[in-house]
Amino acid sequence: MGRIEIDALDDPRLDLYRDIKDPHMRRREGLFVVEGRFTLRCLIEDSPFDPLSVLASPPARVALQDALDGLDPETPIYEVPNEVLRELSGFHLHRGCLALGRRPDDFGLQDLLARATRPDGSSLLVVLEGLTNHDNVGGIFRNAMALGADGVVVCPRCCDPLYRKAIRTSLGAALCVPFARVSEWPVALEQLKEQGYSLVALDPAGESIASVARGGLPARSALFFGTEGAGLSEDTLSQVDLRLQIGMETGVDSLNVATASGIALHRFREALGR
């Protein structure tokens, strides 16, 4: 099928690309949206997902042609003028391209744990509780990929890591880092403990992460992050094995959660010798 030129905004082949600002629209249809040239390359070249179709302006299609050449020949690549692309999406697109992917079935926690354990038995998980900001979730996935986390667990109240804004903010990491959404919370914490994980909470009342890291950190750790206001729930805090805090200036009690995740993951990376 390959490249297909479309000039009309009302062409029915473009219907799945309408209303993409609605965070639930494509999810209800079992799809996710990828926006931007860099993340589209991640989708094609690095992720386990295959695009159902690609929508691109002529300049974007030319810039991505080497990656698009690797797609299944039956994957449609719709090329549309920039003005059609803007009217269709309802906002200014980053670098003039979109793609649709088939949303996978939610991975169960046990499936994730099997994938997230390294040959030496070590494993570093990021666990998110109650995070509803797509920028923060995307930023945490970006940090997880850059700093060697083996997977991400999200609670039922967390926003969707495969929403287009989270994917874009993660620079494609949300497409590449394995994750599981657990439906039973905080029952999942017991499952992590049964699999030998030490539950570690980022908590302003905890011990200094710098001091603890100098003495070594658990090789199988699940690192918990909560909201910047309320933090982690009491149910979660009552079950953790270790509480750690990032040292800050007097009078400052918190960091942006994505920033905090980067600092904590770097400490773990150094302590675990990765």
Q: What is the secondary structure of the chain as a DSSP string?
A: --EEE---TT-GGGGGGTTTTSTTHHHHTTEEEEESHHHHHHHHHTSS--EEEEEE-HHHHHHTHHHHTTS-TTS-EEE--HHHHHHHHSS--GGGEEEEEEPPPPPPHHHHHHHH--TTS-EEEEEE-S---HHHHHHHHHHHHHTT--EEEE-TTSPPTTSHHHHHHTTTHHHHS-EEE-SSTTHHHHHHHHTTPEEEEEEEEEEEHHHHHHT---SEEEEEE-BTTTBS-HHHHTT-SEEEE----TT-----HHHHHHHHHHHHHHHTT-
Domain-wise residue ranges, the chain: 3-102, 109-271
- Least reliable range by pLDDT among 118-127, 214-223, 248-257: 248-257
Question: So what's the pLDDT on residue 2?
Answer: 84
Is residue 23 pLDDT above 80, yes or no? Answer: no
Question: So what's the pLDDT on residue 44?
Answer: 96
What number is the average pLDDT over the span 259-274?
94
**Hey, how many other C-beta atoms are within 10 angstroms of the C-beta on 240?**
20
Question: Shortest CA distance to 209 belongs to which of 169, 248, 244, 253?
Answer: 244
Is residue 28 pLDDT above 80, yes or no? Answer: no
- Least reliable range by pLDDT among 33-47, 68-82, 83-97: 83-97
What number is the average pLDDT over the span 115-135?
96
d(CA 72, CA 18): 24
Q: Residue 180: beta bridge partners?
A: 153
Is residue 92 pLDDT above 70, yes or no? Answer: no
C-alpha distances in angstroms, 174 versus 53, 55, 72, 220?
Answer: 19, 20, 23, 22
Residue 21 banded pLDDT, cuts 50, 70, 90: confident
Q: Which residue has the tokens 């690549």?
A: 77
Question: So what's the pLDDT on residue 91?
Answer: 66
Q: Are 46 and 176 in contact (CB under 8 A)?
A: yes
Is residue 169 pLDDT above 90, yes or no? Answer: yes
Is residue 55 pLDDT above 80, yes or no? Answer: yes
Six token digits for residue 203:
């908590």
Question: So what's the pLDDT on residue 75?
Answer: 96
What number is the average pLDDT over the span 134-139?
98
Question: Shortest CA distance to 88 belongs to which of 73, 100, 74?
Answer: 100
Is residue 1 pLDDT above 90, yes or no? Answer: no
Is residue 79 pLDDT above 80, yes or no? Answer: yes
Residue 85 banded pLDDT, cuts 50, 70, 90: confident
Q: Are 129 and 104 in contact (CB under 8 A)?
A: no
Q: Are 37 and 97 in contact (CB under 8 A)?
A: yes
Long-range contacts of 250-254 (CB under 8 A, 24+ apart): 253/204, 254/204, 254/228
Q: Which residue has the higher pLDDT, 229 or 39?
A: 39
Chain center to CA of 152: 8
Residue 137 banded pLDDT, cuts 50, 70, 90: very high
Question: So what's the pLDDT on residue 94?
Answer: 62
Question: So what's the pLDDT on residue 186?
Answer: 86
Is domain 3-102 annotated with CATH 1.25.40.10?
no
Question: So what's the pLDDT on residue 145?
Answer: 97
Q: What is the CA radius of gyration of the chain?
A: 20
d(CA 161, CA 56): 23
Mean pLDDT score across all residues of the chain = 92
Is residue 93 pLDDT above 80, yes or no? Answer: no
Is domain 109-271 annotated with CATH 1.10.1660.10?
no
Is residue 107 pLDDT above 80, yes or no? Answer: no
